Chain A
Amino acid sequence: MSKYREIDVKKQRNMTWGETFHLCIRGVKHRLLRSVLTLAVVVLAVAFFMYLLSESMIVQTTGKGVAGEIEDNRVGQVTFTRMLEPATELVTVRRLAHAYAISDEAALAEFASVTGNELETVKALAAKAYDERTYLNWFDNIPSGRRLVLVHKNLGRDAIEFALSDRERFFEDLAPMIDLRVPGKKEGLAVFFDGYEEYRKELAAFNSEWNKKIVIAQQKMAAAKGDFIGSEEQWIIKATEEQRIAVQKDFAAVGFDFTEADMQVMYKQFAEADLYERMFIELSKQDLRDEWAREFRESQRSSAEDKFKQFADERAVKMMTARGFTKEELVQIAARTEKLGQLTMLERKLSSVVSLDDAETGLSGRQIFLLSISFVVCMVGITNAMLMSITERFREIATMKCLGATDRYILLQFMMEAGLQGFFGGILGVVIGFVISVLRGSISYGSYMWTYWSTSGMLLCALASLFAGVALAILASVQPSWSASRMAPMEAMRVE
């Protein structure tokens, strides 16, 4: 065949990413609205991701903030109980476990100084207490049928002791229950069982040491009170500044982490509680109730809490000042009632969604389940929509191949197009999800949401959702893009 010239046929060059992107943008710009289906799926999916993520973040931050505030409001009473009431072993376990869970160094140091132990010893004990709490919880939450098999009718520590009484049988019973997840696996439980007896001894010694010091604190308090008639709380309110400082020093000498500032907070909270109590008694007196009902024309007699909220009213002010309360006191109580009411309401709402005690972060199992399901559904949706759009465009694809497009280019172009759709749809979805979660959040938590608002957290949620959207779109487009890239160029010639 000498009459044929050999010409130089090279491989078609690969398009650069930049060129591909450029062509892609051009197509997407015009097609964005035409590929509504893909876009809608992406928008929906991302909105859903964003909603779940940001909602859970709002709940977390607000929840922690509210829990902190509630704790702050009770800190006086809690401190007082800690220093003056002997602790049962279980109370000590709870305190140790909590301090361990949130790494509360100050609390652990206080345990060490009061009981005269090394900090390391206390930390080790606290870790074991945390384990005990974990296993107690676990035992109590085993579905009752299987719990009956494992520990008969025992609950709490009795369950642990029952299991220990015949360890072999217990583990034999446990072995077939493979779906029952044991914290720290069976090995962890075995180690806990091994150390249990010793731990209980250590704990008992620790607790009795603690309670000895409580007795000393009680004696010091009694000495300070002298012949004052009334509770310790009342004495603290009535005591002079010097007397209070003296008691604070006494407590600190026992080893408690209790400063003058703490005493100041305690004094304020006790005074407020006392004022609240006195007003409460006053408001439940018959003559005041009658007067109130007359003034406010109430057919239904309102509770004291409701009345507190009306303290801004001139008529209420007049009634109460006549009975020896100052205007400032009224304002103070009204504000306190309002705030406490909100906090309790929020605590109830939030504790149902998040366990505030264990400083848990992240999504719940249910939410993760929802997310993965929606991920799969969206994958299928987008793949389907993309396949449809590719069959619609088969002539365009084939023509591009006639014009010199390589398989690689077609693959890349379609995946990039999907990624861009994921990006634009994702942005819209993020905005929608954000708006919904903020709306819901502000309805549920009001100004508390903004008090504990975290812009960086929200940004992270937005980025994560956007990323998920883009990843979803690209992942879903792999198969359709692949089949597009394999399309035969002769389709371009076909005429229907």
Chain B
Amino acid sequence: MTTFNVEEYAKNREVLVSVHGIHRVFMRGDEEVHALNGISLDIYRGEYICVMGPSGSGKSTFFNMVGGLDSPTSGRVFIDGVDMAQLNADELAFLRCRKIGYVFQTFNLNTVMTALENVTLPMIFAGVHADEARARGMALLEKVGLGERWNHRPKEMSGGQMQRVAIARSLANNPSILLCDEPTGNLDLKTGVEIHQLLCDLNKKDGVTVICATHDHNMLSVCDRMVWISDGQIERMADRANVTIEKASLGTEDYE
């Protein structure tokens, strides 16, 4: 197996997210839990990066740092050159609203709202005019293949459809980053593949940077780069070009 060549990979790429030696310690009673143990990583614009690792390895904690949902115990996170630690609550809200889209394992749709209302909610937060929000929301729903179902509520939809709505919602304010924390974790295999395909299309066609945590092998066929995390540290990295052939020998089975 070839080692990951950072210099070569970084060539002609622009850094979008930069993580410098972050640690995150949680207190569970009197016991310290080191969820992240010094992770440093550059993520490049337009890249589709896959974060893999067993449950409890710190993927979600890492995502919280990158997404501005939590702050590291030590270390720094830059997004588009902005030091997250410098931002106050309202500025973080601004960032979360416009720069980052979130896709959750549990979809997290608002159950009392229709698909369209869910998609337009971040636009309302951003101050987009209702008519424009509606038009844009419809376009997004069409993009994820749910144009017909704009008036359905989450309970009238399947898991795959709900995740599509969630993806459309995450794209509401044209973010540069899409953070997907195990987006297919609650879906069956076939629907999972469809969601991966959708994310891949978004990445390739619209140039959205996708950061995705997963257990799922199928992810490997669509991403640009893979990062394995274990015990809060980066275990290894790989360029997809180098791993497709070695898929069987990757050892990802261990993680399932």
Chain A interface residues toward B at CB < 8 A: 1, 3-7, 9-13, 15, 19, 23, 26-27, 29-31, 395-396, 399-407, 409, 488-490, 492-495
Contacts and interface: CB of A to CB of B under 8 A. Distances in A.
B87 A9 contact: yes
Given A26-B112, A395-B108, A399-B102, 11 more contacts: A4-B15, A9-B95, A10-B94, A23-B124, A400-B110, A401-B93, A405-B93, A490-B64, A490-B70, A492-B108, A493-B60
Contacts, number: 112
Interface stretch (B1-9, B75-83, B232-240): B75-83
B252 interface: no
Which of B88, B124, B185 has the largest number of chain A CB atoms within 10 A?
B124
Interface residues on B, range: 35 or more
A347 B88 CA distance: 69
A404 B125 contact: yes
A201 B120 CA distance: 86
Given A31-B112, A399-B104, A404 B64 contact: no
Contacts of B90: 11-12, 406
B194 interface: no
Interface of B: 15, 18, 60, 63-64, 67, 69-70, 78, 80-82, 87-91, 93-98, 102, 104-106, 108, 110, 112-113, 117, 121-122, 124-127, 169, 172-173, 181-182, 185
Contact of A488 (B69, B113, B124): B69
Which of A9, A15, A29, A489 has the largest number of chain B CB atoms within 10 A?
A9
Contact of B18 (A4, A13, A404, A409): A4
B69 A492 contact: yes
A11 B126 CA distance: 11
A305 B110 CA distance: 73
Instruction: Say what secondary structure dominates the interface of chain B.
Output: mixed
A402 B67 contact: yes
Contacts of B121: 23, 400, 403
Contacts of B98: 404
A7 B98 CA distance: 12
A495 B182 CA distance: 10
A424 B208 CA distance: 45
A492 to B, nearest CB: 6
A9 B91 contact: yes
A485 B67 CA distance: 19
Contacts of B78: 1, 4
Given A26-B113, A404-B125, A489 B82 contact: no
Nearest to A23: B124
Contact of B97 (A395, A396, A403, A494): A403
A402 B87 contact: no
A12 B87 CA distance: 11
A9 B82 CA distance: 8
Given A402-B102, A403-B96, A489-B69, A19 B91 contact: no
A396 B93 contact: no
Contacts of A10: 91, 94
B112 A403 contact: no
30 contacts: A4-B80, A5-B81, A7-B82, A9-B82, A9-B87, A10-B91, A11-B88, A12-B90, A12-B94, A12-B125, A13-B126, A13-B127, A15-B124, A26-B112, A396-B108, A399-B108, A399-B110, A401-B69, A402-B96, A403-B96, A404-B96, A404-B126, A406-B93, A409-B125, A489-B70, A492-B108, A493-B64, A493-B181, A495-B60, A495-B106
